[in-house]
Amino acid sequence: MWLTVGILIFSLSVALSSQADADSNIMDRMVNDDRQLARFEAIHHVKKSELDRKKEEDYEEGSSEEEDYEEENSEEEDYEEESSKEEDYEEESSKEEDYEEESSEEEDYEEENYSGEANIAPTCDDGVRNQDETDDDCGGSICPQCIDSKTCNAASDCRARACVSNICRAPTCSDNVQNQDETDTDCGGSICPKCADTKTCAVGSDCLSEVCLSQICQAPTCTDAVKNQDETDIDCGGSRCPQCADTQSCRAGSDCVNGVCLSNICQASTCIDNVINQDETDVDCGGRT
């Protein structure tokens, strides 16, 4: 019986001792678990911090890449816009070239078909003001001179040689132009007054002096073989030249050598001419005759 009790007590001691060891082990494990948990939490916190930091860096990098992407897109858009402008410019240039080409073709067509005739040289009877004409088919250095009322640039463009305010005018003897049949400006010829000395002439009748030598009007003399000044006949009579011989013209007896002028003709002297002439000592008497 006591043996049994002893065995029970021993078994109980062993059991209690084992339970205490078990509880101690449990406590140790719990402490170790708490430490392990704390370490895990610390590691987790560190890893979480690193993960958050990495996410933030990745986000920032992503933002930077997005900005770079947007910048690249902006540059690409600018490039496309510039390309579009360049294409528009090239298109406008092409249109302008096409327009100029069409204009050139139209000009060539008009030039070839002008007046319905192609490649025909201009003439002075084509009804067109061309070459160096001042009016249609007249004036200039090639075509005939223009008639009155036509356009001109100079007197040489006009038939009347009078160009006033770029219009050919009818000639006059006071237009300061040598025209009509004048031998000098506004004198000579059959229409205008006679020319003064030193002016150009064709014949003596063009000159006031009636003397035309070497096509120049000369001053009158008593030896120029022309009846001028106040001569009554050629180079005689009048107040300047010698008296005239018989049969020459006169206006008075003083114009004649014999002093006898009958019917404007110098007469031979007689003893009945009512003039003291010959060797008479008085009218029609005396002397040897």
In a domain, 213, yes or no: yes
Tens digits of residue pLDDT in 26-71: 566 665 666 666 676 777 677 677 777 777 776 666 656 556 656 6
Residue 129 in any domain: the answer is yes
Q: Tell whether 207 and 240 lie within a shared domain.
A: no
Residue 185 resides in a domain:
yes
CA-CA distance, 283 to 69, in Å (whole number)?
Answer: 150
- Structural domain that includes position 276: 227-289
pLDDT of amino acid 119:
63
The pair of three-digit structure tokens given for residue 107, joined into one six-digit string: 């000009």
The reply to whether 48 falls in a domain is no
Q: Are residues 241 and 277 in the same domain?
A: yes
* pLDDT score at 99: 64
Residue with tokens 């992503």: 62
Q: Give the residue, 110 or 135, on which the prediction is more confident.
A: 135
* Whether residues 188 and 166 fall in one domain: no
Residue 113 lies in a domain: no
Same domain as 287, residue 241: yes
Which of 219, 249, 279 is the C-terminal boundary of a domain?
219
Inside any domain, residue 278: yes
Q: Distance (Å, rounded) from C-alpha 81 to C-alpha 60?
A: 31
> pLDDT: is 60 or 261 the higher one?
261
pLDDT at 56: 74
Residue pointed to by tokens 């540059």: 75
Shared domain check, 288 and 236? yes
Confirm if 189 and 206 have CB atoms less than 8 A apart. yes
pLDDT in tens, 11-24: 666 555 555 555 56
Q: Rounded distance, CA 58 to CA 257, Å?
A: 151
What is the total count of domains within the chain? 3
User: CA 75, 77, 80 angle in degrees (round to 5)?
Assistant: 110
Same domain, 192 and 149: no
Of residues 189 and 10, which shows the higher confidence score? 189
Looking at the fold, whether 239 and 286 belong to one and the same domain comes out as yes
Amino acid at 31: V
User: Does 247 map to a domain?
Assistant: yes
Report the predicted TM-score, pTM, of the whole model to 2 decimal places: 0.44
Please report which confidence band the pLDDT of residue 81 belongs to, taking 50, 70 and 90 as the band edges: confident
Question: Do 110 and 118 form a contact (C-beta atoms < 8 A)?
Answer: no
Structure tokens at 86: 């360049």
Query: What residues have CB less than 8 Å from 278, skipping those under 6 apart?
Result: 269, 271, 287, 289
- Residue 175 contacts residue 195 (beta carbons within 8 Å): no
Residue 286 belongs to a domain = yes
Q: How confident is the model at residue 131 (pLDDT cuts 50, 70, 90)?
A: very high
Residue 240 is classified by DSSP as T
Of 60 and 168, more confident: 168
Query: What digits encode the pLDDT tens for the residues 195-235?
Result: 999 999 999 999 999 999 999 999 999 999 999 999 999 99
Question: Does the pLDDT of residue 272 top 70, yes or no?
Answer: yes
